[in-house]
A and B are shown apart, each in its own frame.
Chain A
Amino acid sequence: MKDLLPIIKSLKSNYTAALLFILQVAITFTILVNAIYLAFDKREFIARASGLDEQNVFYVAANLPVEEAAQPALLDQDLANIRAFPGVENASVSSGIPLSGWGRLVEVAVNPDTKYDTFSGYYGGDLNLLKAFGLELVAGSEFSPSAELSVRTEGYRNAIDIMVTKALARSLFSEQWEQIVGKTIYINNLPQRVVGVIDTLQAAWPSWVVVEHAVLAPVKEADSIVHYVVKTVPGQQDDILTQTLAYLMSLHGRKVDNFETFTEVKSRAYSAENAASKTLFGVITGLLIVTALGIYGQSRYSIVKRTKLIGIRRAMGASRGQIIRYFVLENVVLCLVGILIGVCAAIVLNNVFSNAFELGTIPLSYLFYGSICTIILGQVAVLYPAIRAAQLSPAIATRTV
């Protein structure tokens, strides 16, 4: 520590280089902390659970190429046949697919006379939809078989029994959310009875404010295009998808509109966030490389400039360790000043961002870990030049006086 005073004194005599160094560290720190925060923010957004058994669910959208009156029967027949494939855990039909952008929204109210308390996504299917999605029930019970209905479109108007997600129950009844079971709530102003609460089920639109709100009803819709949802045993998804498509196409007039595994749905839903977070990680990598290069170059330069000085110190009896310690300590001092400025700048930048772009504020832990990373980066970059400096022979001092 007794090196500290000479370090500060020597910085004063060479302030421009020191200032440049400090500025670089400050800017690096500012971008680093903000970029990492943004990247993790995106990652968290992407990692939200959809509630589904994501690895094992796929859907196929196809038409029902028969007379309108015969469509419900064909729907049931299709479902029965798909369920019969070995390896299929469950199959159902759904009026929407989570995160796919395709679904329906409903208004939810606790009282009949309020227009709405909140909004929610809506899924209508047969009794198996809960299992075909792979959802978890946290309160209440499953639908009774008598609750199942079959309609042509807009099943939410006909539903009698429904299930809601925990998030929706919470937004209506806050902490007493379990009490929602057995209560009648109003979906688009129509009274419906809640029989169960689902742990998590996301609505069809990933960036929707109330994406965690969903209503599930046992109402099949035999529309012109239906979406079959199939859950398979792990590892058999590809085979079963091929089988299902082959089976569906075997009927004359059948059109398969679209098919996707849920993993694909999810990666499509979050493609923007995914790309953004990858770009941010790219920026972070570039940043670290450029800064490390900069620190390395500058330390090397300042050491070359002080060759004679190092030689004299060595000749006067300074050990190699002392020389290394000197430069390492100098680096730490400069980094700390840079970080100090960087912390202020990062907070300012984050404030500007959060005001302009509706972002959250950076938690203090990010600043802390960011500081540690920056110091480590500085140390790594200075180590080689410092070791080289320590290798200098004391005789160098005598050569060019």
Chain B
Amino acid sequence: MITYYTKLAFLSLWKTRYMSLLAVIVIAVGIAATMTTYTINHMMTKDPLPSKSDSVFLVRLNNWSPEAAYRNRNEENPPIYMSVQDAVNLINHNEAQAHIPIAGFKDMLKLPEQSAVDAKMTFVRSSTTDFFSSFEVPFLYGSSWPKSSDDSGEQVVVISKKLNAELFDGQNSVGRVVQLGEHQYTVVGVLDDWAILPRFYGESMRAFKAPRDIFIPFQTQLNLELWSSNVQAFECWKDPENASVKALWASECVWVFFWVQLNNELEKQEYMDFLQSYVEQQKALGRFQRPTLNKLQSPTEYLKERRAFSTDSEIAVWLSICFFALCLLNAMSIIMTKFQGKAGEVALRRAVGASSLDLVHQYTIETGAIGLFGGILGLVFTQICLFLSSQLYTHLSKDIMTMSGELMASTVLLSILSSLVFGMFPIVKAINVQPATQLKSL
């Protein structure tokens, strides 16, 4: 029976093809608007590291001036980053599962055999090997550097797939050498495609940009005294002793984001206790003269505090949901018009014995088909809109404009469901005709 109804439904769709097409297009436009804005908003606010969101934390210590609170706020809040000495100390104490300092600099990058003219100014990220394991970074060739490189500050690099394609034509470049500024580094690993959104670990202003293309051990940056004052945001309440980089490393200037991995509540508690004892120990040495204010912050909490999420995308979602409702109402009136012309057919079928339930079945298949086509067309429109958005939103990473399979399936489902709901009323109205009066006019 279902196949018969399906056949009838498609026949009827074909008979009123212009109206059906109009309904499909209207639904598709609504779906496209909603799903485009929803996708962008979803990608911007989603959990960047679902498997680790409860176990990665930003460590914040209050090493600020005895005279004034950090940034002079009424409600005191510790700096978002920490000083080099604290980062090094926390790594050496080794109390957490993983220690991930986020630092960096910029320098001219080239191959040793290339001339200086070909060198490109490149932003370098410096961290530890834990960065790759904790943030689940995929590798194409090689692997992260060993822990010993972190300790000794070996001159090794991990490069992105993109950079590998530029420098080494995408070949396995493990063991090759690159030159950054005056120093040479051996490639130990090449990353696979990797996009982390929002990129929570660094400056919140750049949370929707792609990660940097080259990574070196944090200790290497410290040992080689690599510092670019105009790249790295840094804040000092007390000047370093002199203008040298070494003095900056030893100063109270804060600029290193410091993340740790703590796998459960217990470990978190223990780490808080450890931080407490660490700060007390440092207090005894004359540092940390403000009230102790240690904080462990999850990525989402940190991004929220820094207001990394623009509310624009959320407003857009709400507006487009209203727009979708409008499109559905529009589709509803089109479907109603369609069914209005069917009064005679309904009467005839009722008269020859079809129950109203049978008719509901048949018409539901028809509106469902409109929803299905609307959803599929909507998906196509959504992809077009996302492509246009990726051209328009140049300040956002292209990876935001991608739809997951789940999202695509739910798009089509949403379309079918909503057209069924909004088609219900026209159907009920259509089958409520009096067979007798309609038959008379046939």
The answer to whether A297 and B68 touch across the interface, beta carbons within 8 angstroms, is: no
Please list 19 pairs of residues, one from A and one from B, whose beta carbons are closer than 8 Å in the complex, sorted by A's number.
A17-B336, A21-B333, A24-B330, A24-B333, A27-B325, A28-B326, A31-B323, A101-B205, A102-B230, A116-B72, A225-B230, A257-B230, A290-B26, A290-B30, A291-B330, A293-B26, A294-B329, A349-B322, A357-B311
Q: A279 contacts which chain B residues (CB < 8 A)?
A: 316, 389, 392
Residues of B384-435 contacting chain A, CB below 8 A: 389, 392-395, 425, 429
B320 at the interface (CB under 8 A from A): yes
Interface presence of A89 (CB below 8 A)? no
Leading 3 A-B pairs by shortest Cβ distance: A294-B330, A357-B311, A271-B395
What is the 8 Å Cβ interface bit string for chain A, positions 283-295, against chain B (1 contact, 0 not)? 1001100110110
Contact (Cβ within 8 A) B320 A283: yes
What A residues does B320 contact at CB under 8 A? 283
Residue B140 at the chain A interface, CB threshold 8 Å: no
Chain B residues positioned under 8 Å from A357 (CB to CB):
311, 314-315
Closest residue of chain B to A30 (Cβ to Cβ) is B322
Contact, CB under 8 Å: B29 / A297 = no
Q: A38-B315, A101-B205, A257-B121 are in contact. Are A290 and B392 (CB under 8 A)?
A: no
Closest to B441 in A: A400
User: Does B332 belong to the interface (CB within 8 Å)?
Assistant: yes
Beta-carbon contact of B243 and A152 below 8 Å: yes
How many A residues have CB within 8 A of the partner chain? 51
Tell yes or no: A115 within 8 A of B by CB. yes
- DSSP class of A's interface residues: helix, strand, loop or mixed? helix
Asked whether A293 and B22 contact (CB < 8 A) given A34-B319, A271-B394, A275-B393, the answer is yes
A37 vs B207: C-alpha distance when bound (angstroms) = 28
Within residues 66 to 121 of chain B, which ones have a CB less than 8 A from any CB in chain A? Answer: 68, 72, 108, 121
A272 CA to B395 CA, complexed, in Å: 7
Which chain B residues lie closer than 8 Å to A290 at the CB level? Answer: 26, 29-30, 323, 326-327, 330
Contacts of A21-37 to chain B: CB distance below 8 A = 21, 23-24, 27-28, 30-31, 34-35
Known: A278-B392, A283-B33, A353-B315. A294 touches B333 (CB 8 A): yes
Known contacts A286-B29, A353-B315; decide if A20 and B322 are in contact (CB<8 Å): no
**A255 & B108 in contact (Cβ 8 Å cutoff):** yes
Question: Does residue B340 face the partner (Cβ distance < 8 Å to A)?
Answer: yes
**Highest count of chain A CB atoms <10 Å: which of B33, B330, B393:** B330
B337 within 8 A of A: yes
Contacts of A30 in B (CB 8 A): 322
Q: Is the beta-carbon distance between B72 and A107 smaller than 8 angstroms?
A: yes
- Which residue of the partner chain B has the closest CB to A268? B395
What is the size, in residues, of chain B's interface with A at 8 Å between Cβ atoms? 42
Interface centre among A30, A279, A301 (most CB of B within 10 A): A279
Name 7 extra pairs, CB < 8 A, besides A17-B336, A294-B326.
A31-B326, A34-B319, A224-B229, A287-B326, A290-B323, A293-B22, A294-B330
Give complex CA distance A58, B330 in Å: 51
Is B334 an interface position by the 8 A CB rule? yes
If the complex has contacts A283-B33, A290-B26, are A276 and B326 also in contact, measured as CB distance less than 8 A? no
Other-chain contact of A27, B121, B205, B329 (Cβ < 8 Å): B329
> Inside 8 A of A286's CB, which chain B residues have their CB?
29, 33, 323
> Among the listed A115, A287, A305, which residue makes an inter-chain contact with B68, where contact means beta carbons less than 8 Å apart?
A115
A358 at the interface (CB under 8 A from B): yes
User: What's the Cα separation between A292 and B106 when bound, in Å?
Assistant: 55
Q: Say whether A365 faces chain B, with CB atoms less than 8 Å apart.
A: no
Contact with A along B23-43 (1 / 0, CB 8 A): 000100110010000000000
Q: Does B312 contact A (CB under 8 A)?
A: yes
Q: Which A residues touch B3, using CB under 8 A?
A: none
- Would you give the 0/1 interface string for A257-284, flagging 1 where the beta carbon is closer than 8 Å to chain B? 1000000000010011001101110010
The interface residues of chain B lying within 8 Å CB-to-CB of A291 are: 326, 330
The residues of A that contact B22 with a CB separation of less than 8 Å are 293, 297
Which among B30, B318, B333 has the greatest number of chain A C-beta atoms within 10 A?
B333
Which residue of A is nearest B333, CB measured?
A: A20
Residues of B within 8 A of A268 (CB): 395
Contacts of B316 in A (CB 8 A): 276, 279-280, 283
CB–CB B334/A283 < 8 A: no
Which residues does chain A contribute within 8 Å of B392, judged by CB atoms? 275, 278-279
A146 interface contact, C-beta 8 A: no
A29–B287 Cα distance when bound, in Å, is 61
Choose one: A102, A283, A294; the contact of B319 (CB below 8 Å).
A283
Closest to A24 in B: B329
A283-B323 contact, Cβ under 8 Å, with A27-B329, A257-B121: yes
Contact A297 B333 (CB under 8 A): yes
B163 to chain A: closest CB distance in Å?
19
A398 at the interface (CB under 8 A from B): no
* A276: B residues at CB distance < 8 A: 312, 316
Contact A27 B322 (CB under 8 A): yes
CB distance from B319 to the nearest CB of A (A): 6
- The answer on a CB contact under 8 Å between B329 and A301 is no
For the complex formed, measure the closest distance between the CB of B241 and the CB atoms of chain A, giving whole angstroms: 15
- B437 located at the interface, meaning its Cβ lies under 8 Å from any Cβ of chain A in the complex: no
Q: Decide if A144 is an interface residue (CB 8 Å cutoff).
A: no
Q: Report how far A24 CA is from B326 CA in the complex, Å.
A: 6
Per the 8 Å Cβ criterion, residues 96-132 of A in contact with B are 101-102, 107, 115-116
Cβ of A179 within 8 Å of any chain B Cβ, yes or no, is no
Query: Which A residues lie within 8 Å of B326 (CB)?
Result: 24, 27-28, 31, 287, 290-291, 294
Q: Which residues on the B side are within 8 Å of A13 (C-beta)?
A: none
Q: Does A298 contact B (CB under 8 A)?
A: yes
A224 to B337 Cα, complex, angstroms: 73
* CA of A52 to CA of B66, assembled, Å: 40
Question: In this assembly, does A223 line the interface, its C-beta being within 8 Å of a C-beta of chain B?
Answer: yes
